[in-house]
Structure 1
Amino acid sequence: MDPFAERRAAFRALHAEGCFLLPNPWDAGSARYLAGQGFKALATTSSGAAWARGLADGALDLDATLAAIAEIVAATDLPVNADFGHGFGEGAAKVAEAVTRCVATGVAGLSVEDATGDPARPLFPLTESVARLRVARDAIDASGADVMLVGRAECFLTGHPDPLLESLLRITAYRDAGADVIYVPGLTTASQIESVVRVAGPCPVNVLVHRPIGLSMADLAALGVRRVSIGGALAAIAWRAVTEAATRLMQGDLDALGARMPGGDLDKFFAWRGQSSTNPTE
């Protein structure tokens, strides 16, 4: 029996109606905190996980990515969607192997994008992208787990000359190749979002909002969006707080420490039991 079946069923049900926010923790602590605020599901963030390990976005290899995903899955009982890059494989066999390993971490969903990471050829050709997505679909189906597959068109983020038109072409193919959810990062206007929702048809649409775009959750729901993720935004907010405080400390301003969250509050939240004789907040 699938030990994650309940989470996976709950995740699929969230996509059936309404619009929900899918925040992106970057480690076990942030995952537990977000779960404690009442969110119904979580998603990993490749950028947040990489920054936490002192690396740039995209620098985590397959093993490190799987470890970061597994850490967040284990931190709560919530469904988790994995940001899984382009599937970690140059060929179909490697993509299938990587997706199978990702499913084994307990995720309820995983995304496969069409960006190559190579500035010389930013996007995989459409036929290759479709083949990679179909391999991912087959690997999920072969696992027997009810994991949702997210097809991502990265045209807006890779500098395509006509990102909306190309995205609409690609998501049609991704929908037909077995994607359960459609995701086009970089949409910023209501008209763009309306176009993607219309072409996605029965597939739920995920919209990325990692900075203000002038649309509220209510606005996005009215446009037909099913879920909203925020990428590495929370991790970036945390890093901004650290960098601003560090700058003030370097200038000798110890009052920068006044912005800290009380350690006792964090201990209470995380149910710290004093395994060490040293209070970690001191």
Structure 2
Amino acid sequence: MSTSPDKAEAFRALHLGRPQDDPLVLPGPWDAASARAFAEAGFPALATPSAGVAAALGYEDGHTPADEMFAAVARIARAVDVPVSADVEGGYGIAPKELVERLLAAGAVGCNIEDSAEGVLKDPREHAEYLAEFCSAAAGRLFLNARVDTFVHGDGDPERAVERAAAYIAAGAGCVYPILAPVDALPVLRAGIEGPLNALALLDGDGPGPAALGGLGATRITFGPQLQRRATAAARELAAGLR
């Protein structure tokens, strides 16, 4: 299976020109069955969470072998007709051109790439160069969502996040993702970042919902591994009832 250029372009178009309060909501499937459930519910595209896929494969977050992650992404992309973006963590040490080819071979239309490794932020200039090589090799066939880990492994300064995001956008990223950015930082991020902005929505009323996040400036909403964890909790409850 390989990525359809039309599907990749459709995925890119979903990010553009969105009205405030109507961000693109992308559920995170962890296997083919969950992908089908989300697609059948009417979501126009999906974005795999590396932690959710890792859990489904029996690994701790950050410890999934690259071959297994790409195989899982391929099963998910093959199971649905909607575009699928893949979380490939920090790129698994794979050279940009090879990473592009592996994503395309898996049927992905885009990906997340983190800017930290083992809990430490990467040098933003070096990482921007890596992303620029990736985008050059992709030649428009993949939509890059560049993760900014300032609020996870950095000092949490929104202005520093804006600086890193600007470098990644200049490198060719179509969207940036300051993961775990606090709600009150979103207006600052929106004011300083050009183009689509990904925010993490929390379930169970622990934070603003997608529409509210959209009102604060987010144009793309993802959930990380929360949906997979919710499904696992439901399976535990079901199992307990069978005893």
The answer to whether TM tops 0.5 is yes
5+ residue gaps, structure 1: 250-255, 259-282
Q: Distance in 2 between matches of 1:223 and 1:21?
A: 15
Task: Map Cα deviations across residues 46-91 of structure 1 (whole Å, 9 max, x no partner).
Answer: 111111111111111211111011111101000111111111217x
Per the TM alignment, residue 210 of structure 1 is displaced from its structure 2 partner at its CA by: 3.8
Q: Counterpart amino acid of 1:167?
A: A
Aligned residues: 237
User: Paired residue for 1:130?
Assistant: 128
User: Paired residue for 2:180?
Assistant: 186
User: Paired residue for 1:54?
Assistant: 58
Q: Distance in 2 between matches of 1:257 and 1:196?
A: 48
Conserved? CA contact 2:201–2:208, under 8 Å: no
Conserved? CA contact 2:135–2:172, under 8 Å: yes
Q: Distance in 2 between matches of 1:83 and 1:46?
A: 5
The answer as to 2:159 corresponding to 1:165 is yes
Conserved? CA contact 1:87–1:99, under 8 Å: no
Q: Distance in 2 between matches of 1:47 and 1:10?
A: 26
Conserved? CA contact 1:86–1:112, under 8 Å: yes
Q: Which runs of 4+ in 1 moved over 6 A?
A: none
Q: Distance in 2 between matches of 1:169 and 1:32?
A: 38
Q: Counterpart amino acid of 2:155?
A: P
Task: Map Cα deviations across residues 229-278 of structure 1 (whole Å, 9 max, x no partner).
Answer: 111111010122233455xx4xxxxxx149xxxxxxxxxxxxxxxxxxxx
Larger radius of gyration: 1
Per the TM alignment, residue 23 of structure 1 is displaced from its structure 2 partner at its CA by: 0.2
For normalisation by structure 2, the TM-score amounts to 0.90
Q: Distance in 2 between matches of 1:62 and 1:214?
A: 33
Q: Secondary structure at the match of 1:64?
A: helix
Q: Counterpart amino acid of 2:98?
A: E
Q: After superposition, where does 1:65-76 map in structure 2 within 5 Å?
A: 65-76=69-80
User: Paired residue for 1:27?
Assistant: 31
Alignment root-mean-square deviation, CA = 1.9
Conserved? CA contact 2:3–2:104, under 8 Å: no
Q: Distance in 2 between matches of 1:230 and 1:162?
A: 20
The answer as to 2:200 corresponding to 1:208 is yes
* Alignment CA distance shift 1:86-1:30 (3 Å): same
Q: Counterpart amino acid of 2:128?
A: V
User: Paired residue for 1:263?
Assistant: none
Q: After superposition, where does 1:1-282 map in structure 2 within 5 Å?
A: 4-18=4-18, 19-89=23-93, 94-116=95-117, 118-119=118-119, 122-141=120-139, 145-158=140-153, 160-189=154-183, 191-201=184-194, 203-211=195-203, 212-246=205-239, 249=240, 256-257=241-242
Q: Distance in 2 between matches of 1:95 and 1:245?
A: 43
Q: Distance in 2 between matches of 1:51 and 1:210?
A: 19
Per the TM alignment, residue 34 of structure 1 is displaced from its structure 2 partner at its CA by: 0.7
Q: Which has the higher contact order (CA 8 A, sep 6+)?
A: 2
Q: Secondary structure at the match of 1:151?
A: strand
Per the TM alignment, residue 163 of structure 1 is displaced from its structure 2 partner at its CA by: 3.9
Conserved? CA contact 1:95–1:135, under 8 Å: yes
Conserved? CA contact 1:62–1:98, under 8 Å: no
